[in-house]
Amino acid sequence: MNSFTYSYPVKVYFGEKAAEKNLTAELAKTGPNVLLAYGGGSIKKNGIYEELLGILKDAGKTVTEFNGIMSNPTYAKVQEGAKLAKEKHIDFILAVGGGSVIDCCKIVSAQAKMDADIWELEYTDHQQPTEFIPMGAVVTAFGTGAEMNNGAVITNEDKMLKSALWDAFYDFAILDPAYTMSMPLKQVISGAFDSLSHSMETYMGLPREVNLSDEINEATQRNIIRNIRSTIQNPNDMQARSELIWAAAMAENGILKIGKATDFQCHMLEHQLGAYTDCNHGQGLAVLHPVLYRHMMPEANRQFARLATEVWGIDKAGKTEAELAEAFVETLAEFVKEIGLPSSFKEMNIPGDTDFKAIADSTILTGGCAKKFTREELLEVLLECR
Ligand code: NZQ
Ligand code: ZN
């Protein structure tokens, strides 16, 4: 096991009426000017907006709204939010939404506290922000686990990069399963697949021998798979929904990563696919994972074979490690179809003449992946996904 320090700054309020029960006490710790941030308006249809605005008003806050945060948030939107936060002297940001709103606000919280351009600071000067506007997240769409970590995935349209900016943590996260019941089923499934992907990408990292984190990870993956199936059978299954929300958080709250370096090669490729096509993140992963994993054999066979038996329950009797690894990858591909996720870019309406070479050439090659990919091979992967 690698050396580690474990400490976690995000306080989680999980369960029914978590906002009603806990938000007022959290707001008592903040200054008067609150930025209420949200996306395209789903929270106005499902009543969450009214409920939260009521709590904010009762707490005597002056509320400034920052809305229209799009899926795959752009750097321009971050700058818009930071400008607003500076102008209105914002003391606290309440981000209400899924990974996109939650990520966008992380970088707003840092950019609003500095004059320097945060992209240049992190990618040119290789420095990190040190001051942030305090924040709380109310999760209305789960999957990314963005509420739990200090990474924010932002699309820089000028640079054609979808990349992580780092270091802003939420002070608290409110996870009420009831708030997610209005999510379209398609988004529930693609979000849950994203959580499965985070678990797999962590599991596949270094070191490759099993440690406690990996055994917890195997349980997390089994849980996600089972609860995706339960949710498809009954989209109103609150127990399954609750499990999926916590599994999404578990995959990104650091516990599965303890003592490990992660893989995340599939994510790096999907993020650049997103930069060029603005595609849905979980769907992009669903198409890429089986194809990328076929390319990772035989280097990743040992871990794939373990996933076959420990996560997917494949009988190992009479099978070699290579056969088990192949059975895992093909079972994963079948699962993608079973749960109605796309298996090709065509199914995602990504045109066949997309500049896949530019996507491959701009993808970060990760150190934790069992296979050391070249950009040429990543291009092959992308072309096979068409
Ligand atoms: O914008 P509104 O109208 O709210 O609609 C949203 C959006 O269209 C809708 N939605 C959210 N809550 C809802 C709801 N609709 C009905 N009822 C509700 N309760 O759902 C749609 C998708 O939301 P979005 O936030 O875009 O999805 P997701 O949570 O999957 O976030 C995706 C973003 O997170 C990044 C992705 O790359 C992508 O940009 N990621 C962030 C990560 C992180 N910070 O750790 C890790 C991930 O790997 C990922 O890269
Ligand atoms: Zn993801």
Does ligand 1 have an atom closer than 6 angstroms to the CB of 183?
yes
Q: Do 119 and 223 fall within a single domain?
A: no
Does ligand 1 have an atom closer than 6 angstroms to the CB of 151?
yes
- The first and second tokens of residue 243, run together, are 């499990």
Q: Do 232 and 155 fall within a single domain?
A: no
Going from the Cα of 372 to the center of ligand 1, the distance in angstroms, rounded, reads 30
Q: Do 205 and 345 fall within a single domain?
A: yes
Q: Decide: helix, strand or coil at residue 220.
A: helix
pLDDT at 228: 98
Which of 117, 151, 180 marks a domain boundary?
180
Question: What's the CA gap between 206 and 19, in Å, rounded?
Answer: 38
Residue 255 amino acid letter = I
Find the ligand nearest to 98 CA: 1
Q: Do 27 and 136 fall within a single domain?
A: yes
Does ligand 1 have an atom closer than 6 angstroms to the CB of 74?
no
- Encode pLDDT of 310-351 as tens digits: 999 999 999 999 999 999 999 999 999 999 999 999 999 999
Does ligand 1 have an atom closer than 6 angstroms to the CB of 141?
yes
pLDDT at 1: 82
- Looking at the DSSP assignment, which residues form a beta bridge with residue 238? none
Q: Which of 178, 173, 139 has the alpha carbon at shortest distance from 46?
A: 178
Question: What's the CA gap between 273 and 362, in Å, rounded?
Answer: 10
Q: Do 334 and 240 fall within a single domain?
A: yes
Positions of the chain with pLDDT lower than 50, given as ranges = none
Q: Do 153 and 214 fall within a single domain?
A: no
Dihedral over Cα of 109, 74, 249, 363: its sign: negative
Q: Do 251 and 159 fall within a single domain?
A: no
The tally of domains found in the chain comes to: 2
Does ligand 1 have an atom closer than 6 angstroms to the CB of 97?
yes
Judge whether 6 lies within some domain. Answer: no
Phi, psi of 280 (to 5 degrees): -70, 130
pLDDT at 265: 98
pLDDT at 2: 85
- Encode pLDDT of 39-68 as tens digits: 999 999 999 999 999 999 999 999 999 999
Judge whether 282 lies within some domain. Answer: yes
Q: Do 243 and 123 fall within a single domain?
A: no
Give the range of the structural domain holding residue 305, as residue numbers without chain letter. Answer: 185-384
Q: Do 23 and 137 fall within a single domain?
A: yes
> Which residues are in the CB-under-5-Å shell of ion ligand 2?
194
- Residues 6 or more apart in contact with residue 233 via CB below 8 angstroms: none
- The first and second tokens of residue 187, run together, are 């988004």
Going from the Cα of 16 to the center of ligand 1, the distance in angstroms, rounded, reads 21
- The first and second tokens of residue 223, run together, are 């849980």
CATH number of residue 79's parent domain: 3.40.50.1970
CATH number of residue 228's parent domain: 1.20.1090.10
Q: Whose CA is nearest to atom 17 of ligand 1?
A: 183
Cβ distance 175 to 249 under 8 Å? yes
Q: Do 333 and 285 fall within a single domain?
A: yes
